[in-house]
Amino acid sequence: MNESLLRDLVPAVIGILVRRGADFAAAEDAVQEALIRALETWPDDPPRDAKGWLVAAAWHKFVDSVRAETSRRGRELAVEVEPPAGPVPAGDDTLWLYFLCAHPSLSPGSAVALTLRAVGGLTTRQIATAYLVPEATMAQRISRAKRRITGLPLDRPGDLATVLRVLYLVFNEGYSGDIDLAAEAIRLTRQLAATTDDPEVSGLLALMLLHHARRASRTGPGGRLVPLAKQDRSRWDTALIAEGVMILQTALARDRLGEYQAQAAIAALHADAPSTAETDWVQIVEWYDELLIFTDGPVVRLNRAVAVGEADGPLAGLAALSELDPDLPRHTAARAYLLERAGDLEQAADLYAEASRTATTVPERDHLTRETARVRQSLRP
């Protein structure tokens, strides 16, 4: 059974239940129960109409839960036992569900978890495993998020930028356990792209594909971090790169540039280059200048400074870097790299060592430690 295809149906089924009178939290719980039942029974007895089966099963789960609650409180059942007659509608509320799960009243962490649960169809256990937190903790986070958005009207205007930010956060989590969050983010973004023609959605999808294409070359044995300059480019997924470039070119042709399209253009230039030395760094700097128009953040400026160092020489890069807060993450490592390229190996080695002590991940720390040893080795007679 294709579990990914099954999860694709989740937003539509939740939307149908909500339109039939269920509140969001109850609808989402009922659909999750129906999914579990589907995983148990479909391998031996697959339905001819998967969406209709899920709607019927989820509706009955919802009715059962209302009955139990009504019985407990001594009230009359307020919903029909059978769902309204007629075929399941072809359309769905997928786009609305994206907006609802990325509601501005939710924290980024809650929005990500709720999107994976309601739109992605993942179980609470799967999400908890991916984020390396106890299942009970994730269950509480999702429950609070559902309570916060329950009762919001279907016609509430959504913020596409928030939806895209949530999907980007999911993608950047990478993968853990049996759930590949990067692949899941790509799947969800493809789904979103099918419901809206906004070029920024295409830009985000292209960005994800271009980054994902390099995944196999980013780590070596034992999870060892491999920087871009030393990656084996023959291991890059050329089919994903071609698809990402095509999607990006179509989006750029609409002349409605946004931050994700600009980021994707930078990623495309990296993907197109045979080596670091042959990369069109001048054009990358120009795209960073475009990106700064949409998101003038310190991380973007730091990456631009490194690109300037490649395009115009390490001294120009150091000058651009000097304008930024030295406490910025990766600032010390970037300065060490540019100083090494400028020939100041002794100071570069000291800065690599300093950066390794403040690294936020083990692979990054180990990489910077190896860089320290490599430069110090070159200083020996």
Band the pLDDT of 102: cuts 50, 70, 90: confident
Segment 28-48 shows an average pLDDT of 85
Higher pLDDT, 281 or 40: 281
| pLDDT of residue 355 exceeding 60 | yes
| Largest Cα span, the chain | 89
Segment 305-323 shows an average pLDDT of 97
CA 198 to chain centre: 18
What are the Cα distances from residue 16, in Å, to 29, 49, 146, 275, 353? 14, 15, 17, 51, 57
Nearest 5°: the CA angle 127, 69, 22 is 60
| Listed residue (101, 107, 91, 248) closest to 160, CA to CA | 101
List, for residues 133-161, the tens digit of each pLDDT value: 899 999 999 998 888 887 766 555 457 88
Q: What is the pTM of this model?
A: 0.78
Do residues 370 and 357 lie in contact, with contact meaning Cβ atoms separated by under 8 Å? no
pLDDT of residue 169: 83
CATH of domain 93-184: 1.10.10
| pLDDT of residue 20 exceeding 60 | yes
Segment 278-287 shows an average pLDDT of 97
pLDDT of residue 201: 96
pLDDT of residue 175: 59
pLDDT of residue 91: 46
| pLDDT of residue 68 exceeding 80 | no
Nearest-angstrom CA–CA distance, 97 and 21: 16
Band the pLDDT of 162: cuts 50, 70, 90: confident
pLDDT of residue 72: 47
Domain 298-381 has what CATH class?
mainly alpha
| pLDDT of residue 66 exceeding 90 | no
List, for residues 252-275, the tens digit of each pLDDT value: 999 999 999 999 999 999 999 999
| pLDDT of residue 343 exceeding 90 | yes
pLDDT of residue 90: 44
Share of the chain above pLDDT 70, in %: 88
List, for residues 207-257, the tens digit of each pLDDT value: 999 999 999 999 888 888 999 999 999 999 999 999 999 999 999 999 999
- Could you tell me the two tokens for 194? 């099918």
Higher pLDDT, 297 or 98: 297
Band the pLDDT of 75: cuts 50, 70, 90: very low
Domain ranges of the chain: 3-73, 93-184, 197-220+233-296, 298-381
- Residue 234 phi, psi dihedral angles, 5° rounding: -70, -15
* 229 CB burial (10 A radius; 0-12, 13-18, 19+): exposed
- Could you tell me the two tokens for 213? 């294409």
Do residues 151 and 86 lie in contact, with contact meaning Cβ atoms separated by under 8 Å? no
* 118 CB burial (10 A radius; 0-12, 13-18, 19+): buried
* Range with the poorest average pLDDT among 89-93, 115-119, 242-246, 296-300: 89-93
pLDDT of residue 317: 98
- Could you tell me the two tokens for 261? 């399209």
- Could you tell me the two tokens for 180? 């590949």
pLDDT of residue 116: 85
pLDDT of residue 163: 87
Higher pLDDT, 4 or 78: 4
Band the pLDDT of 367: cuts 50, 70, 90: very high
